[in-house]
Amino acid sequence: MSSVPDSNKSLSPAKKPVARRSADQAAAVADPTRRRLLAGGLAAGAGAAVAALQARPAAAAGDPAITEIQDWNRYLGDGVDARPYGTPSQYEEHVVRRNVPWLTADPVSSVNFTPLHELDGIITPNGLCFERHHAGIADVDPAQHRLMIAGLVDKPLVFTMQDILRFPRENCVYFLECAANSGMEWRGAQLNGCQFTHGMVHCVVYTGVKLRYLLEEAGVKTNGKWLLAEGADASAMTRSIPMEKALDDCMVAFKMNGEALRPEQGYPLRLVVPGWEGNMWVKWLRRLEVGDMAWHHREETSKYTDLLGNGKARMFSLTMDAKSVITFPSGDMKLPGPGFYNISGLAWTGRGRVRKVEVSVDGGRSWYPAHIENTPEPMCTVRFSFPWRWDGTPAVLQSRCTDETGYIQPTREELIAIRGANGKFGSIYHLNAIQSWAVDSEGGVTNVHA
């Protein structure tokens, strides 16, 4: 971890003073010391991004990168099977999930972030999908794994993995976003870099069986209105899911991006709840219980509820609303100079398809349509781009997503006007506000609230 706090300091907006933080409250306010550490940790990634942008230095003689024979041009490389499971180039070592140590007290019950700023397209590589565990990664032996369906069903059943693999299957691309993604931003610009502001989202191809098929196999009784999903990890995490959603588009997945789920994503079996908050996508899925009402367990009462300014809290706020973020240029990057840049980013909505993405380079005063690079699919990210010629003067870059319901991604101020701003333990979840990246005259990019 290199440390260049001074070079980063100039890129960082002034931070608010320290406030008390709690293990599970992602809304903590950064203190300057910790922020500096974080900035140091980020420097490696940011440095590489900057280096890649540097123009070739002018030289009287020939460019050594051309005129000198490189080792890889002189010596034979590894043969096949030297790397039976391929990994990225050694020069991409900085492209990793990273956490923010001060956000949570224990890495066993914590979260890390997808390096969105280093990725393109819409598919997140399996090893880079952010992690959130409540009791660490369960290392489940698939031969010993069972999925039980019980409760208000005609015929309670147990499935082995072999049983599940025999059902008709489907392949769907879905985003998964933690309800607390960007939640640190409720109280001000907390973290620089979109890995940290927006990295609790990923998007992969899931292969699995429609949950409906499994439930029909057991036969849901007419008074079965809710479904409890339970994981096999040491926290045995549970969430209640309305039966209507369970029978609609939920899925029991065993593969992601064509290969078996990674252990940290729920191997051998996870629930897929398209468009709804990530906490419901129970990993290491071992049990489904059908009931007549919600269980009101810890994850849907104490957590994942939205305290409003009037002291009341929203419960079962499950849908992830339309959201977008510019991933290039984004916080902690440095533009080498004026000229052309391909602004690029991601947009998604839990309520169907993305209809439109717009970009502003003047802090939201004027908006231009961005190019959507893939065919929008339900509950799936789109990659958008926008050609921008930077004139070297300060700019504020924003993007906003419109989904097929007509809903437009709001500003943070609009959300706070509805939900209230009652301190850092008030609003934590469902912050889908427009993100602003300020570009200063030196090309430095920072997270600002504009």
Partner 1 sequence: MSMLDKVAVRMIAVAGLFGAAVLSAPAQSQELAERTYGFGTPVTPEDLAPFFSIPPSGRGLPAGSGTGEAGAQVFADNCAACHGEDLAGIPDPGIGGDRLIGGRGSLASEAPVKTVESYWPYATTLFDYVKRAMPFHAPGSLSDDEVYAVVAYVLSQAKIIAPTDEMNAQTLPAVEMPNRDGFIPDSRPEHALYR
Smaller CB distance to partner 1: residue 125 or 364? 364
Rounded CA separation 365/343 (Å):
18
User: Does 302 help bind partner 1 (rule: CB under 8 A)?
Assistant: yes
**Residues 177/111, Cβ–Cβ less than 8 Å:** no
The distance of closest approach from Cβ of residue 189 to partner 1 in the complex, given in angstroms and rounded to an integer, is 20
Q: Could you check whether the bond before residue 336 is cis, i.e. omega within 30 degrees of 0?
A: no
Smaller CB distance to partner 1: residue 128 or 209? 209
Query: Which of residues 13, 33, 70, 105 is near partner 1 by CB under 8 A?
Result: 105
User: Does 170 help bind partner 1 (rule: CB under 8 A)?
Assistant: no
The DSSP result for 29-93, as a single string, is PPPHHHHHHHHHHHHHHHHHHHHHHPPPPP-SS--HHHHSPPHHHHS----TTSSSS----GGGT
User: Does 405 help bind partner 1 (rule: CB under 8 A)?
Assistant: yes
The distance of closest approach from Cβ of residue 273 to partner 1 in the complex, given in angstroms and rounded to an integer, is 15
Smaller CB distance to partner 1: residue 7 or 109? 109
**Residues 195/98, Cβ–Cβ less than 8 Å:** yes
The distance of closest approach from Cβ of residue 82 to partner 1 in the complex, given in angstroms and rounded to an integer, is 40
Query: Which of residues 223, 362, 387, 425 is near partner 1 by CB under 8 A?
Result: 425
Q: Which window, 42-50, 63-71, 175-183, 422-430, contacts partner 1 (CB under 8 A)?
A: 422-430
Rounded CA separation 239/219 (Å):
21
Smaller CB distance to partner 1: residue 173 or 250? 250
Task: Work out the angle at residue 279's Cα, subtended by the Cα atoms of residues 307 and 412, and round it to the nearest 5 degrees.
Answer: 45
User: Does 344 help bind partner 1 (rule: CB under 8 A)?
Assistant: no
The distance of closest approach from Cβ of residue 237 to partner 1 in the complex, given in angstroms and rounded to an integer, is 8
| AA identity, residue 53 | L
Which residues between 269 and 298 bind partner 1 (CB under 8 A)?
A: 287, 289, 291, 293-298
Collect all residues with Cβ–Cβ distance below 8 Å to 209 and sequence separation of at least 6: 164, 167, 168, 169, 170, 251, 252
Which residues between 116 and 145 bind partner 1 (CB under 8 A)?
A: 134-135
Smaller CB distance to partner 1: residue 50 or 135? 135
User: Does 56 help bind partner 1 (rule: CB under 8 A)?
Assistant: no
User: Does 317 help bind partner 1 (rule: CB under 8 A)?
Assistant: yes
**Residues 308/296, Cβ–Cβ less than 8 Å:** no
Task: Work out the angle at residue 416's Cα, subtended by the Cα atoms of residues 316 and 353, and round it to the nearest 5 degrees.
Answer: 60
**Residues 324/183, Cβ–Cβ less than 8 Å:** no
Q: Which window, 3-11, 124-132, 401-409, 436-444, contacts partner 1 (CB under 8 A)?
A: 401-409
The distance of closest approach from Cβ of residue 414 to partner 1 in the complex, given in angstroms and rounded to an integer, is 6
Cα–chain-centroid distance for residue 223? 36
Cα→Cα distances 127→84, 115, 252, Å: 16, 11, 20
- Ramachandran region of residue 102, left (φ > 0), alpha (ψ -120 to 50) or beta? alpha
User: Does 404 help bind partner 1 (rule: CB under 8 A)?
Assistant: no
Rounded CA separation 284/290 (Å):
18
Q: Which window, 181-189, 363-371, 400-408, 440-448, contacts partner 1 (CB under 8 A)?
A: 400-408
Q: Which window, 55-63, 100-108, 178-186, 251-259, contacts partner 1 (CB under 8 A)?
A: 100-108
User: Does 18 help bind partner 1 (rule: CB under 8 A)?
Assistant: no
Which H, E and C letters describe 371-392, residue by residue? EECCCCCCCCCEEEEEEEEECC
The distance of closest approach from Cβ of residue 391 to partner 1 in the complex, given in angstroms and rounded to an integer, is 31
User: Does 148 help bind partner 1 (rule: CB under 8 A)?
Assistant: yes
Cα→Cα distances 357→61, 94, 99, 372, 384, Å: 47, 30, 29, 7, 7
User: Does 364 help bind partner 1 (rule: CB under 8 A)?
Assistant: no
User: Does 235 help bind partner 1 (rule: CB under 8 A)?
Assistant: yes
Smaller CB distance to partner 1: residue 202 or 283? 283
Smaller CB distance to partner 1: residue 24 or 377? 24
Which residue, chain included where needed, has tokens 């004139």?
391
Query: x/- string (CB under 8 A) for partner 1, residues 202-231?
Result: -----------xx-xxx---------x-x-
User: Does 310 help bind partner 1 (rule: CB under 8 A)?
Assistant: yes
Size of the site for partner 1 (CB under 8 A): 75
Smaller CB distance to partner 1: residue 31 or 163? 163
